[in-house]
Amino acid sequence: MFHFMKDQIQAAKPSRRSFLKMSAAGAGGFILAASLPGASRKAAASGGEFAQPFVHIRPDNKVVVLIKHLDMGQGNATGLATLIADEMDADAAQVETNFAPANAELYKNLAFGMQGTGGSTAMANSFQQYRAAGAAAKAMLVAAAARKWGVPVSTITVSKGVVTSTSGQSSNFGDLAALAANEDIPAEPVLKTPDQWVYIGKSFPRVDVPAKSRGSVGLYGMDHQAENMLVAVLARPPRFGAVPAGFDAAKAREVKGVVDVVQVPSGVAVLATSTWPAIAGRDLLAVTWDESGAETRGTDEMAKELAGMTATKGISVPGSHGDAEAAIASAAKVIEVDYAFPFLAHAPMEPLDITVFFDGEKAEFWTGSQFQTIDQMVSSRILGLTPDKVTINTSWAGGSFGRRAQPDSHYFAEAALIAKARLEAGNAAQPIKVVWTREDDIRGGYYRPMVSHKAKVGFDDKGQVTGWSHRVAAKSIMQGTAFEQFAMKDGVDSTSVEGIGELPYELPAFQTEVHNAKTPVPVLWWRSVGHTHTGYVAETMMDRLAKEAGEDPLDYRLKRIKNERLAGVLKLVAEKANWSTPLPEGRYRGIAAVESFGSYVAEVAEISFREDGTVKVEKVTCAVDCGLPVNPDNIKAQVEGGVGYGLGAVLRNEITMTDGQVDQSNFDTYLPLRMTDMPEVEVHIVPSTEAPTGIGEPGTPPVGPAVANAIAAAKGEWVTELPFSRHGYA
Amino acid sequence: MSISLTLNGTSRTIDADPETPLLWVLRDELGMTGTKFGCGIAQCGACTVHLDGMPIRSCQTQIGDLEGSSITTIEGVSGKAADAVRSAWEELSAAQCGYCQSGQILAASALLSETPKPTDDDIDAAMDGNVCRCATYARIRQAIHVAAEKMGA
């Protein structure tokens, strides 16, 4: 996601060489925020034009790293702390993290140009920036020590949080913090060379596990507490596109604790003194809905519409080459394969929540904000404030998988509208926490789009491909959002076709077209975005093509692969999974490789079948190339989790609708992957000195096609209509 | 209605509508937010607490039914099993987003208190009701084995 933004930023952004030094915050602590000149950025990760680090050293010797991203479990807080700690030579035990406030100038994602997290960019865009911040802070500590002790800088070394001079003096960071704050920020802090790294590429303890293992207070937005706070739960439209036309709240108001009922465009909010009466009151509301603009079709009808679209010519996607249609017309054999992918809910463990306080002059929010800049802009506009009057306190998020990355900031907007309505009705300002129940979450839309693919491939008489014509139909994620103007070019939304506009394999003629379907059902990026379906299609098709050619699926890929790093992970995973050795009876393997967000992941799934015919995924072996592995254990954790997340979806997840109403509502109908479903996952990381790329998403795309290819190895047929549960495999 | 119970080893008297789920009493009335709201229908285990040492779903447990009982939450769980579990959790970085982890830790601690050397099947049986959308299941399983070793050491 957001490659379009990278292009935009690189083209438009002026070079910024000014340094920004903020005043000391608190007694003796110093905060450093520096913009570094281009000269120190020659190894910068893609998108990084200049750096803005942020580190706080407290008198109590704590190093607090300000995290400009949302950590929703993917570990970027630990990753960014690792960079600072390493360059500062801090002791891991003295490092803490805080989420940075919403401030696009200071904390923009260098890949986006705004503050936000997504597209597996956190480490990629921050790598040089945070290292430079750490290096600058260390240089200032050293300069302060040299001045204090009257010794040359060259006599000073720093190790594990201790500054030492060869003349005998030593100090911790905290005691030097106030002095260091007065030192000049170095114009070009000297970064360590890789051989000097103590944490990067090795290990650094996760900063969040202790607090998350103890039920610590205030970690998540859902846990926000405040004096005099109200909790709002909304009756939401039964169909997408419906709006409230009126309501009868008599019964709701009888619930002890309910204090108010407020209508906003997204529904009717019951406000209570705590969550339980708000839920109980909401359930007793009688709301009349205006469904004139609502989606009243079921998903079966929508699927038919999408499949119908792929039968007709669509918008040409860049990346095509050769005349695929002509090649197919004169082919010895043609196959046509239709794929159908369902809507998917993100279903993070923490349903959406947000607390707002608005007093007419300023506003404050508490939540796991993922697009801080957009959330700040949207809510400030609604509240009639300038963005600087809107404070966002970003908390840890209990998952997101894309759900909180909102182009329309709908949940911020909703909270702002409720707070505004309350104030305008003459109520005193008080904090309001909007809580989404699991049913609200599952039925709330912003799904991975429903998608239809049609692959038409021509072969010569030896089973070799002569041409491949491909069509995709889906509702565009970008169209109709603020991103559309620069995210869509000539009607093509890259998030609909990323991964299938151009294949990583050498084929004689290849072309892709796309159709943008329309529906009021809101759609959104879901962990790995377009690759969730394009990777499945491309990699199950490659197995079909190998079969037509009578070749081994791995050999077939390697012979045609254009990208060395993708070839590298394929070879590594094949070796680690013993691809060429026979399996015991009843076991089957499948392989798949997908590049997403600049990272390369290949996976081999080994499966068996239970007595009832369902698939048991025994083991998934993964090979990953995400450039320089900053924190190898976190890379492994993300790939393990990414495999589980992708597997759960292909096994049995789908949001369906009947007459426009969502059929699922909670984890009893939208069945999550559980412990008993989880395969053994083995992750191998390719050693690399390339700029680090992301790992939050890339583990997800290959698992579906790897398992599908294993099923096909057993049954001779590929599942083309997801999820597998539709075909008795789950 | 007034309910007397023991919460994390301390006697408490709680004044609440007896039908209120324990989950919301803990979170909203007592400010103990370590116990999480995930589904509200006992399908995800994020709200797991111990009732007299046994894991239960607090979202489906009415406060009115708890007169005289002993409740332990993530904020108070301790002892050989819980300490070993926390230590193993940190050692293996078992958490990602962490939202389900209170429930996972309560479920794992209860398992290890009953079955100090659990097999993979024991772990499946005890932990299958605890959903982790980050799918850190492999590490949770491994951490339970590590915790068992720590307890035996």
CATH code, domain with B23: 3.10.20.30
Shared-domain flag, residues B66 and B84: no
Q: What is the mean pLDDT of residues B69-73?
A: 98
DSSP classification of residue B28: I
Starting at the edge strand that comes first in sequence, how are the strands of the sheet with A63-67 ordered? A30-32, A55-57, A63-67, A95-99
DSSP classification of residue A343: B
Number of domains in chain B: 2
pLDDT of residue A1: 43
pLDDT of residue A20: 25
pLDDT of residue A108: 95
Interface test with B, best of A117, A674, A680 (most B CBs within 10 A): A674
Task: Decide if A95 contacts A208 (C-beta within 8 A).
Answer: no
Shared-domain flag, residues B67 and B96: no
pLDDT of residue A54: 81
For B134, which of A210, A276, A641 is closest by C-beta distance? A641
**Given a cut of 60, is residue A47 above it in pLDDT?**
no
Write the pLDDT tens digit of every residue in A553-598.
Answer: 999 999 999 999 999 999 999 999 999 999 999 999 999 999 999 9
Domains plus CATH for chain A? 3-205 (3.30.365.10), 221-293+352-435 (3.30.365.10), 301-344+446-727 (3.30.365.10)
Where a domain ends, among B72, B107, B125?
A: B72
Count of alpha carbons within 13 Å of A432, Cβ hemisphere only?
34
Shared-domain flag, residues B86 and B49: no
Q: Dihedral sign, CA of A628, A630, A633, A638?
A: negative
- The CATH number for B145's domain is 1.10.150.120
For B93, which of A209, A276, A644 is closest by C-beta distance? A209
Could you tell me which residues are beta bridge partners of residue A394? A367
Closest-CA residue of chain A to B31 = A225
Classify the phi-psi angles of B19: left when phi > 0, otherwise alpha if psi is within -120 to 50, otherwise beta. alpha
- Residue A471: strand, helix, or coil: strand
Shared-domain flag, residues B67 and B99: no
Write the pLDDT tens digit of every residue in A159-213.
Answer: 999 999 999 999 999 999 989 988 888 889 999 999 999 999 999 999 999 999 9
Alpha carbons A538 and A701: distance in angstroms, whole number: 11
Shared-domain flag, residues B86 and B59: no
> Using CB atoms and an 8 Å cut-off, which of residues 71-130 of chain B contact chain A?
73-75, 86, 89-90, 93-102, 105, 123-124, 127-128, 130
DSSP conformation letters of A648-681: HHHHH--B-EETTEES--STTTS----GGGPPEE
Shared-domain flag, residues B65 and B91: no
Closest-CA residue of chain A to B94 = A209
Shared-domain flag, residues B85 and B43: no
ipTM at complex level = 0.98
Which domain does B32 fall in, by range? 2-72
**Given a cut of 70, is residue A697 above it in pLDDT?**
yes
How many Å is the maximal CA-CA distance in chain A? Answer: 85
Average model confidence (pLDDT) across chain A = 92
pLDDT of residue A53: 62
Q: Which residues of B touch A205 (CB under 8 A)?
A: 90, 93
- Residue A600: strand, helix, or coil: strand
DSSP classification of residue A419: H
pLDDT of residue A24: 27
* B137 in A contact zone (CB under 8 Å): yes
Alpha carbons A397 and A399: distance in angstroms, whole number: 5
User: First and final CA of chain B: distance in angstroms?
Assistant: 47
Do the bridges between strand B48-51 and strand A492-493 make them parallel or antiparallel, or are there none, so unpaired? unpaired
Closest-CA residue of chain A to B136 = A641
CA–centroid distance for A474 within its chain: 20
Of the candidate ranges A172-181, A247-256, A630-639, the one whose mean pLDDT is the lowest: A172-181
Residue A394: CB atoms within 10 A of its CB come to 27
CB contact under 8 A, A350 and B141: no
> Using CB atoms and an 8 Å cut-off, which of residues 23-62 of chain B contact chain A?
24, 27-29, 31-41, 43-44, 46
Q: Which run of H or E residues covers position A501?
A: none
CA geometry: angle at A444 spanning A438 and A447, to 5°?
A: 110
Write the pLDDT tens digit of every residue in A21-38.
Answer: 222 222 233 433 333 333
Alpha carbons A431 and B151: distance in angstroms, whole number: 45
Task: Decide if A688 contacts A583 (C-beta within 8 A).
Answer: no
Shared-domain flag, residues B63 and B106: no
Alpha carbons A233 and A280: distance in angstroms, whole number: 9
Where a domain ends, among B72, B95, B120?
A: B72
Write the pLDDT tens digit of every residue in B9-62.
Answer: 999 999 999 999 999 999 999 999 999 999 999 999 999 999 999 999 999 999
Task: Decide if A206 contacts A81 (C-beta within 8 A).
Answer: no
Residue A49's φ and ψ, nearest 5 degrees, are -105, -35
Shared-domain flag, residues B31 and B93: no
Where a domain ends, among B37, B72, B107?
A: B72
CB contact under 8 A, B138 and A640: yes
Q: Give percent above pLDDT 90 in chain B.
A: 98
CB contact under 8 A, A349 and B33: no
Q: Which residues of A touch B123 (CB under 8 A)?
A: 675
